[in-house]
Amino acid sequence: MAEGEGFSRSILEEIQKTEGKHSVFEEQARRMPIPVCSVFLGKGGEIRPARFKETDMVLAAGELEALKQVFPKIMAKNGVTVLEAYADDSLAQISGKRVGVLFSGGPAPGGHNVLVGLKVALGKNNVLVGIRRGPGGLIKGNAFEISSDSLKDIFNTGGFDFLGTDRTKIKSPEQFEKVKETVSNNRLDGLVIVGGDDSNTNAAFIAEYFEGEGVDCKVVGIPKTIDGDMAVGKHLPISFGYDTATKIYSELVGNLTQDAASSVKYWHFVKLMGRTASKITLEVALQTKPAIALISEEIAEKNMSLEEIVDSIVRVITERRLRGINHGVILIPEGLIEFIPEMRNLIQELNKVLAEYERDIRDLPTLRNKLEFIYPRLTPQSAQLMASLPDDIEEMLILDRDDHGNVKVSQIETEKLLIEKIRYKVSELKRHPDKYFGMSEGKIAAGPDEIEKIKSMTLSTQSHFLGYEGRCGKPTAFDATFAFLLGLTAGSLILDGRTGYMAAVTDFDRGGRVLALPLPGLITAEMRKGKKEYVIEKSLVRTDSRSFRIFADNRERWAKQDLFSSPGPIQHWGPTSRQIPISVAVDQGYKSFIQFDLGEEREVTI
């Protein structure tokens, strides 16, 4: 089509210029300056690596004597003492080092800035080596030298696509031997593993293995996860990626709260990422003030049954209807079902039955035949619960299993399960109003006219799952800064000859404090699949935390009235661009969540 036939050639050229991650926004984002903690600034204001010294802080999540048995070399070398960075120009003179880096597990916004931070810390006289496709790539030796020019293109951008990632766990002697070969073949002096709790646990075991084998390669971990379950109190308030993900979800949930109020008829059931911890749900609730937000840890603590959860939701829906509000948003953590005691018992029993009778169940022709075979092999309580579930949920529990034969709990559509159960309960409430309404304790206070209003109530629902939308967004100003600083920290630790640590930054409200946390000090013993395993303990929502208490103290008002707020889209410059997660600010005792302070802004030269 020629110019003048419906489009301008200048517009076509503009469109083509934006191809390959060169939108106007992305081009501007690459030029954004980054705040830098003072320990990383030289006398002339240039960015350079820092050194580390011991503090009087110690970490010991597990039993010390047991940790010394599991990590004898690293414990003898480091103990469980936390290190702190201090300004020193000497590491900038080091040359000839080769440091590998890989991403492990699901992506999180900010990963590319970790790479830039590492490269800046290493400087021009050392080499950053990328490991493609995560720990699996490390085993296969899939490595390449990362150039400065390639990092300029990904600075301040989202995703893990530059290196890729996978979820391989390095456990067998053969795998460790392959890792040693990769280190030797690529002459690596250091290895940085960017990942969550399992990945950093792997980093601890690799560091111990290298020490035992006499491999002179330092190993450092970097905390990454959007779920927020990788946190260590005052030492590490949160991992990178959480801020961006929760802001993306909060914008979408804010839009849904506005839609519900505008349509005046919909109840939006929104499942949010976070299989183990409900930290995403808590943060999004504080940002948006929905009618209902379920917190898995509270439900487990209160030993609530599925029926009790359904009753509590129906009560809010009904009481809002009596006030003339027939709409709202309900937030549901992805891992809720595992925190409901009776559901957890059912899943454990199913895993056992499915493993023991796998061939028998597989050979039965229909779902009904399979269920009739399974029910007698469950406890009466679990059989009754399973029979009460919708057919599609029953089918998912039986047929959809992982590589170990266990139910894929994260794929169960909990939001749809709740919708089905709530629909039935609302129908029952309308058919038998005397059972649910009245002035006695536990009943909903309503007169005859109000009961008639309830009888005419319709329940229009929409279900959503917000998950992948938050994993690869362009990082917020906070995550871009945080990830860059973690990269600087890891690079500095390698140059300082440290191994078996995880990079950390804290004090987000007063210039930042750069720490190195001893990995064995984060590890505790857990029973997994009947065996004791040493892993980094996940950080869950604590019901005695300040952030949860603020939520709990206000949720009744949010349930009774439309007090929702829409935080809007992420700003990368502007009045909300320096916000940090509300839950983090509250739990850390900061005075405000509006403005983070991680040092003076600097133009980053790669």
Catalytic residues: 227
CA dihedral 359, 363, 366, 372 (to 10 degrees): -50
* C-alpha triplet 394, 397, 398: angle, nearest 5°: 90
- What is the DSSP code (8-state) at residue 603? P
Q: In this structure, what token pair is assigned to residue 5?
A: 């036939």
In the three-class reduction of DSSP (H, G, I as helix; E, B as strand; rest coil), residue 51 is classed as: strand
Strands, sheet with 81-86, edge to edge from the N-terminal-most edge strand? 51-58, 81-86, 513-518, 501-506, 218-223, 190-195, 98-103, 127-131, 143-145
The CA-based angle 74-78-80, given to 5 degrees, is 105
Q: Residue 478's closest CA among 306, 595, 399?
A: 595
Q: Calculate the CA dihedral of residues 146, 213, 488, 154 and round it to 10 degrees.
A: 30
Burial 460-494 (b: 16+ CB within 10 A, else e): ebbbbbbbeebbbbbbbbbbbbbbbbbbbbbbbbb
Rounded to the nearest 10 degrees, how much is the dihedral formed by the CA atoms of 330, 545, 340, 196?
90
Among residues 500, 473, 533, which one has the least CA distance to residue 210? Answer: 500
Half-sphere exposure of 330 toward its Cβ, with a 13 Å CA cutoff? Answer: 25
- Dist. CA 41–CA 53, nearest whole Å: 17
Q: How far apart are CA 522 and CA 471, in angstroms?
A: 25
C-beta neighbour count of 207 within 10 angstroms: 29
State CA 181 to chain mean position distance. Answer: 32
